[in-house]
Structure 1
Amino acid sequence: MAKKKFFIAGTDTDAGKTRVACGLLEKARQSGLQTAAIKPVAAGCEKTDAGLRNDDALALQDAMTLQLPYAQVNPVALEEAIAPHIAAMHENKSLSVNRLAGFCNGILMQSCDWVVIEGAGGWRVPLNPRETLANLAVELNLPVILVVGMKLGCINHALLSVEAIERDGLKVAGWVANRIDPAMSCYEENIMTLRTLIGAPCLGEVPFLEVPSKENIAKYLDLESL
């Protein structure tokens, strides 16, 4: 089978990109596929004896089947949990699409069946005054899986994100509804609206989980349409 490659985007910060990405990796593993992942830039890292480490990148490293060093899974680790371009500026570092694409291509060339590249924040998160993470997805020419954080306002966020992705010339391969607000009003009506207005297939509805492990999340995902 041809290698499947996807860019994981979110409607906002904390939409649940990493949890869904890990669930997708686990679902692919359960289907007997070899998987890999990369979070090219992560802002919000803790100092450890081994260097800066990001929880999301560690989760991806744990969920994938390939055994790769942390530096390949998260090549640009920034300490402050703020917008990546601001965190990089505070550390006198520069971010560019060309550099991040080089890291991603190293993962994309790995011998495996299923690869996900996880962005940071929403679709238009800046890397520098001229480029955003959207430009990285365009440079890599990858289909996008959009994670919709189910909360008040999600319909607008989701539709604007889909519009922006398609305007940038990329395909929305599918979307996942991730319930981040257990008390969200009119959840079913919101889901129905999104299913009606988003042309791409819904890959699953992930409920609010007390234990959001990759195995628990994978139960709610379907990769058949991918």
Structure 2
Amino acid sequence: MADGTKAYQVVLEHIEEAILGGTLLVGQLLPPERDLAAQLGVSRAAVREAIHALVAQGVLTSSVGPRGGTRVAAMQAEALKRVLRLQVALADFPVSDVSEVRIALERTTIAAACRDIAPEVLAQIREVLDLMSAAEDPDEFNALDTRFHVLIATAGHNELATDMTIAIRESLRRPILGAEKVMDGWPAFRGSAMDQHERIYAALAAGDAQEAAAAMEAHIRASYSILPLETS
């Protein structure tokens, strides 16, 4: 093996392929460190480094004792959201690409929410909108805006779509908020955004999936076109 970095990658790829191929299942023990090192022709240090990284990501769990060892984890939603959020933020995708993915996700989740949204969730969304109408500070408005979209995504009962929606919003939260704080015409932007949110809410409350999806797309496109963000 040429160097530590390549050895570490060999171990990561081996474990990833085993999980994707179904030879390593949730709850299953990995081979002992020395056996894995011998099998892959790498040092035990490289195996430890790869395992530590996968434990930190929530892919594996590690424990000591008679029944200890390293096992494949049932990846928790928080771990998945963290990985997605960091990947989107660090990949430096063009904002135009991110916005198109966000539109596809949020059209899907709001259409699903229209079919069976619980009255108490609709009431929570209404409460958030009322708070937004009184929020004049960009920080508060942005936080409530995130809450509005996350509530709708959650109401669609698609956990993966919800996690991806949150990851995309979180990855762009700081640049969007920064742009809002320096933009000309913040009050007008805020008023326009509120009108768009009210249109979304009205369609959601009426159970009109087609109108709700169209309103959501129009809102996202308007937000990204108004904000002075780089698109490539």
Point out the structure with max Rg over C-alpha: 2
Query: After TM superposition, is the score higher than 0.5?
Result: no
Higher relative contact order (Cα pairs below 8 Å, separated by 6+ residues): 1
Name the structure where strand makes up a greater proportion of residues: 1
TM-score tier (shorter): under 0.3
Q: Identify the structure with the greater helix proportion.
A: 2
User: TM-score, normalising length from structure 1?
Assistant: 0.24
